[in-house]
Amino acid sequence: MPNESAKEQLIAKAQKQYIDFVDELKKHDKDYIIENAYKMLKMQDILSILEEGGLSEEKYALLLQAEYPLEQLYYEWLASGLNENYEELRIVLNKYLQRQEERSMEG
């Protein structure tokens, strides 16, 4: 998809990852699904934030470098120790991007 913007590519990649995750959940018993429901919800929130926009093309391109961007951002959020607030997910996203930008400047 060479004519797609980095945002469009990232959204498509993240949507596929989310759909694949949900499809995988459906293969398991209800206990497994319940155990992973929170992860599914947070991944959906992260996807919504990405779809809302507000990032530069360069930042979308940076996120595209992650093999599994939703999973990466989910674990970044878990490691942050922040609560469930939607805005805190944005904070985690921005901090992750800042670290990634610093790493790309070093290398």
In whole angstroms, give the CA distance from residue 44 to residue 18: 7
Q: What is the spatial distance between Cα 2 and Cα 63, in angstroms, rounded to a whole number? A: 17
* Cα angle value 65/77/16 (rounded, 5°): 45
Residue keyed to tokens 């093309």: 57
Residues 6+ away with beta carbon under 8 Å from 18: 43, 44, 47, 70
The answer to pTM > 0.75 is yes
**pLDDT tens for each residue of 27-82:** 999 999 999 999 999 999 999 999 998 899 999 999 999 999 999 999 998 888 87
